[in-house]
Structure 1
């Protein structure tokens, strides 16, 4: 008999039975409503998650211009905000949740229930662990979507986000246990301050123990994390929290040695990271991408979308160098590993650009002019100032003048600098072109004693 036939037979029998008609239609069984669902739907957990979400979104939006560049910057700021802002909030909320039974006076009553202490602790802690993690993951998703529009190379570091979420959940477990153990109503703010200090202070230490802080990060736009860093970091934080939870609530506390051993092994590996931290150079990220101008402007692949703005900012500089002999063929991002000795270095890609648009073109052009004309980029430097320094400063200022740079309160410039700059502004173009070519050849060959004023 099919299911439909069984339903029809039941309907006929029900209509024929007067007692069934009197009782009314049969009620459908209610969906399962377990204790975990009841805990997660209470008001405190969603409020804690929403607080973490709003705080993280505000913190990330406040620094948006600094991380809307590449995936590495986004991952680094997410880690800093997620743990230094969301970590104390999560630990404080979990600490308050941990003292709930004591405040209500229901500890003895709950102890008589057949549910084990470990299960009761897990169910009670779940709202202030899972909801803040959800708030962090929603923030991370929003930031990754925003970065997708501006990033030039690579892909999101999902493994680092998973490690940060695990660390945030571990802080919730530890905060909950602190609330269970410490019978003090002011424990949550104290736990929040302690969490912030425990996460932030290792950043000021040069010891290998500093890498045990999950909030500590040192990244490079041209790097990628070690493949094992994220899972080891997760084992460290989750193992520590799991060992503390089992030691508090498990029937056999010896089981806490298993996650504790995993945490100790992970900690030993993290302490071997050294000065470079979890990041290693990525040659593909530092590979050069160039425009078709003369000279060429070249940026690393992670800054490739900045090239149009960089070319526009350097157009005035290149117009003054047009026809001048001995000009470098390329103006290259100074941090790139593919830069050669004959290239003119230019820095400031992360400083003078916001969301791939140049915000201070004059200062960026000044850096490029220094890379072209300053002997300090090609020759050994000394603390003794020479006439070549005044001449090179005048050449750089003529190539990339800064509006409003003259400060009436500043010390007067050297006379040789003033005479050279005035001469460059007034001398005929053909004569200036010839002198600049000779100056660049002398400066690049490091024969600074041969540099003469125009």
Structure 2
């Protein structure tokens, strides 16, 4: 069998298919930006989602192989041999199928060298995700081979690729944005995780595995079957597998992803005050700690300032239209602890990290459900920074010039008060924000409301 596999690898289109898969995988990662450089979870998602393009290529590659006998006018000669059809086709099926599947795994391992060098957290499900893609690619090759054997036209390879692409796009759009149809699970273009500590759930991995097994079983039976019975069985097997793959993963984002406690485990820098980030972002701890401590020094102008800082972590998976995500989900800071966000861009912390922490006197990530007082938050932050406005705060306020005008008015009213009164007002505004009391924080800063 080894010798036959070697012959098939040399004579079939396996090498061409491997090169196409590698090229498409590289293009997919390059076009996705730098999100995958430092985190295994992001790499796993992007590599898994690349099946959206890789599966059509696998189908086309299998169809090219399926056309070989009729294209070379050897179909009757080969059929006249005494070997069973399944035995004759097995070396080709294994050669091209395994070549495609192993390419997917090897490429993931090669790309994983980059996040591995950063010491990024790697959860088990993130490492298992590529295995489901391997099954899908093997099944795609075999199903394409069956199509090529059924119809030897040169139009078959591009046709099956285009149909697979259109089918996935259609399935991913069922129900519109935020739709919850189970049919969306049959598209290999899945919704991405919202945060780096959201890992794929086992039930979603099971769904992808069943989808791959259904493709593989159906492709094998359709390729090797000589009568109507195995072909009917193939359709039945794919129907059952696809139905299970659509239902088992669930329909909500909270069904597809889960909070990975290991990824959220805090890793702390040496020195005081203590600064901690999540394990999945440990690679930026050394860069973040000085800026966070600088922000804590600024916040220390107020009485009762925090003595410890920890990166904000979600206590639930972000779902489409979740009303609790107005301000950091429902995660509340611990007493004496400053919650902050790293404001990552291309896996690097923002140059305005201090401003993003100081805004709202350190209360932006307070987890209150009633929302965020942008005007009061920016006014308090600008007062603490000794500036007229905060630049680079990642809260979308730059899109509302009228709010910036209100900030200037509130800041002027605050600074018109005696110094000790200014400190009292900002501290009162901070306490109101942390308590989620719903008090008018702008009125507190302007002196129009009591603390």
Q: Per the shorter chain, which TM-score range?
A: 0.7 to 0.9
Equivalence for 1:286: 264
What SS is found at the alignment partner of 1:133?
helix
Closer, same or farther in 2 for the Cα pair 1:238/1:260, shift >3 Å?
farther
Structure 1 residue 430 displacement after superposition: 7.1
Which deviates the most, 187-196 or 203-212?
203-212
What SS is found at the alignment partner of 1:65?
coil
Closer, same or farther in 2 for the Cα pair 1:112/1:334, shift >3 Å?
same
Closer, same or farther in 2 for the Cα pair 1:390/1:122, shift >3 Å?
same
Is the 8 Å Cα contact of residues 243 and 257 (structure 1) preserved in structure 2? no
Please list every run of 5 or more consecutive structure 1 residues that lacks an aligned counterpart in the other structure. Answer: 1-31
How far apart are the structure 1 equivalents of 2:33 and 2:398? Answer: 36
What SS is found at the alignment partner of 1:87?
helix
Q: Residues 245-324 of structure 1 correspond to what in structure 2 (within 5 A)?
A: 245-251=220-226, 254=229, 266-270=241-245, 271-274=247-250, 275=252, 276-291=254-269, 296-324=274-302
2:222 matches 1:238 = no
Is the 8 Å Cα contact of residues 99 and 180 (structure 1) preserved in structure 2? yes
How far apart are the structure 1 equivalents of 2:18 and 2:399? Answer: 54
How far apart are the structure 2 equivalents of 1:224 and 1:180? Answer: 40
How far apart are the structure 2 equivalents of 1:210 and 1:48? Answer: 27
2:89 matches 1:121 = yes
Is the 8 Å Cα contact of residues 59 and 144 (structure 2) preserved in structure 1? yes
Structure 1 residue 311 displacement after superposition: 2.2
CA offsets 1:403-428 (integer angstroms, 9 cap, x no match):
599x9998566665324445778999
How far apart are the structure 2 equivalents of 1:228 and 1:272? Answer: 6
CA RMSD of aligned residues (A): 3.8
CA offsets 1:131-167 (integer angstroms, 9 cap, x no match):
2223222211112222212243234634221111111
Closer, same or farther in 2 for the Cα pair 1:260/1:374, shift >3 Å?
same
What SS is found at the alignment partner of 1:452?
helix
Closer, same or farther in 2 for the Cα pair 1:215/1:240, shift >3 Å?
same
Count of aligned pairs? 412
- TM-score, normalization by structure 2: 0.76
2:202 matches 1:209 = no
Is the 8 Å Cα contact of residues 275 and 310 (structure 2) preserved in structure 1? yes
2:378 matches 1:393 = yes
Equivalence for 1:9: none
How far apart are the structure 2 equivalents of 1:123 and 1:380? Answer: 60
How far apart are the structure 2 equivalents of 1:299 and 1:121? Answer: 54
Equivalence for 1:10: none
Closer, same or farther in 2 for the Cα pair 1:292/1:42, shift >3 Å?
same
Equivalence for 1:110: 78
How far apart are the structure 2 equivalents of 1:182 and 1:223? Answer: 44
Is the 8 Å Cα contact of residues 312 and 339 (structure 2) preserved in structure 1? yes
How far apart are the structure 2 equivalents of 1:188 and 1:296? Answer: 60
Closer, same or farther in 2 for the Cα pair 1:242/1:73, shift >3 Å?
same
Which deviates the most, 222-231 or 63-72?
222-231
Larger Rg: 1
Closer, same or farther in 2 for the Cα pair 1:436/1:411, shift >3 Å?
closer
Equivalence for 1:27: none
Q: Residues 139-218 of structure 1 correspond to what in structure 2 (within 5 A)?
A: 139-155=107-123, 157-205=126-174, 206-216=180-190, 218=192
Please list every run of 5 or more consecutive structure 2 residues that lacks an aligned counterpart in the other structure. Answer: 175-179, 316-330
What SS is found at the alignment partner of 2:258?
strand
Structure 1 residue 231 displacement after superposition: 5.5
2:12 matches 1:56 = no
Is the 8 Å Cα contact of residues 98 and 124 (structure 1) preserved in structure 2? no
- TM-score, normalization by structure 1: 0.76
How far apart are the structure 2 equivalents of 1:245 and 1:43? Answer: 18
Is the 8 Å Cα contact of residues 143 and 218 (structure 2) preserved in structure 1? no
